[in-house]
């Protein structure tokens, strides 16, 4: 149980385009989802916290207009990187939290974004 | 404010020998503590968690960790390393169950044959 999926697993896009990443909790309802960014050989940096049906809470230094987060249902959150630039290239990981998951964050497999 | 420090950025052991990955935390509250493992280009897998129950926590794949409040430590151990244990390990603290996670910088574990 407590499986979280992400789609796509890998995406390459041109500079200036937008990319949407989906995060789904497959076997539980996620009241809260988190989005992280991980640079090579580095730890995870929390970008934002999203609660179903409300606006996401962004961490300091994260541009909310650049990283749009939508948590439209209890099983789906999306992260859209708008007007992507090469410096946005990174590994993006989501996690989901819900009562069905024992109040533990379960992580998705990550999405590798490369902006050319 | 909470923080977590992983004392070694890289640990190398031989297969079959014990593993010790060190972690110290700082928290104003009784924290929840976790160890996650990440294999290359993969997401994170929960190894074990401490949430104010037994101080010795047993996890998956033979790993365990002991919560020592007096030392503010939560070191991860395994009696005998396996080649498949080679990965990045993160010690994580949360102020409360379901709260924001604060990650350590990670420890890369290498296992030599």
Contact: A46, B98; criterion CB under 8 Å: no
> Which of A6, A26, A43, A97 to mutate to test binding with chain B, by most B CBs within 10 Å of its CB?
A43
Residue A20, CA distances (Å) to A35, B3, B43 in order: 13, 32, 18
What does the pLDDT look like over A58-115, one tens digit per residue?
A: 999 999 999 999 988 889 999 999 999 999 999 999 999 876 555 678 899 999 999 9
Q: Are A97 and A52 in contact (CB under 8 A)?
A: no
Spatial separation of the C-alpha atoms in residues B70 and B80, rounded to whole Å: 27
φ, ψ dihedrals at A87, nearest 5° = -70, -10
What does the pLDDT look like over B57-91, one tens digit per residue?
A: 999 999 999 999 999 999 999 999 999 999 999 99
Nearest residue, CB atoms, A104 vs list B41, B49, B90: B49
Q: Which residues of A touch B (CB under 8 A)?
A: 4, 6, 32, 34, 42-44, 46, 49, 91, 93, 95, 97, 103-110, 112
Contact: A44, B90; criterion CB under 8 Å: yes
What does the pLDDT look like over A41-51, one tens digit per residue?
A: 788 899 999 98
Spatial separation of the C-alpha atoms in residues B81 and B66, rounded to whole Å: 18
What does the pLDDT look like over A10-28, one tens digit per residue?
A: 999 999 999 999 999 998 8
CB proximity list for B1: less than 8 A, separation 6 or greater: B26, B28
Nearest residue, CB atoms, A43 vs list B42, B46, B106: B106
What is the structure's pLDDT at B18?
A: 98
Cβ–Cβ contacts within 10 Å for residue B98, how many?
18
Q: To the nearest whole number, what is the mean pLDDT of chain B? A: 91
Instruction: For chain A, say whether B105 makes contact (Cβ under 8 Å).
Output: yes
CB proximity list for A23: less than 8 A, separation 6 or greater: A4, A5, A6, A33, A35, A76, A77, A78, A79, A94, A96, A108
What is the structure's pLDDT at A63?
A: 94
Contact: A42, B103; criterion CB under 8 Å: no
Chain B residue with minimal CA distance to A44? B103
């Amino acid at each position: 149980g407590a499986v979280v999926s992400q789609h796509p697993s890998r995406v390459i896009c041109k500079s200036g385009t937008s990319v949407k990443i989906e995060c789904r909790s497959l076997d539980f309802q996620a009241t809260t989802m988190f989005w992280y960014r991980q640079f090579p050989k580095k730890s995870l940096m929390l970008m934002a916290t999203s609660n179903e049906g409300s606006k996401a809470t962004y961490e300091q230094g994260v541009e909310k207009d650049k990283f749009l987060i939508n948590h439209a249902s209890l099983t789906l959150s999306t992260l859209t990187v708008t007007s992507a630039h090469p410096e946005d290239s990174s590994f993006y990981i989501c996690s989901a939290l819900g009562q069905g998951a024992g109040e533990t964050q379960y992580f998705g497999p990550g999405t590798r974004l490369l902006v050319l | 404010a909470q923080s977590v420090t992983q004392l070694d950025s890289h640990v190398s052991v031989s297969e079959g020998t014990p593993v010790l990955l060190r972690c110290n935390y700082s928290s104003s509250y009784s924290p929840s503590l976790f160890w996650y493992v990440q294999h290359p280009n993969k997401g994170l897998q929960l190894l074990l968690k401490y949430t104010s129950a037994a101080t010795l926590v047993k996890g998956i794949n033979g790993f365990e960790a002991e919560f020592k409040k007096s030392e503010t430590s939560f070191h991860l151990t395994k009696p005998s390393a396996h080649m498949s244990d080679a990965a990045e390990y993160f010690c994580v603290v949360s102020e409360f169950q379901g709260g924001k996670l604060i990650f350590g910088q990670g420890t890369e574990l290498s296992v030599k044959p």
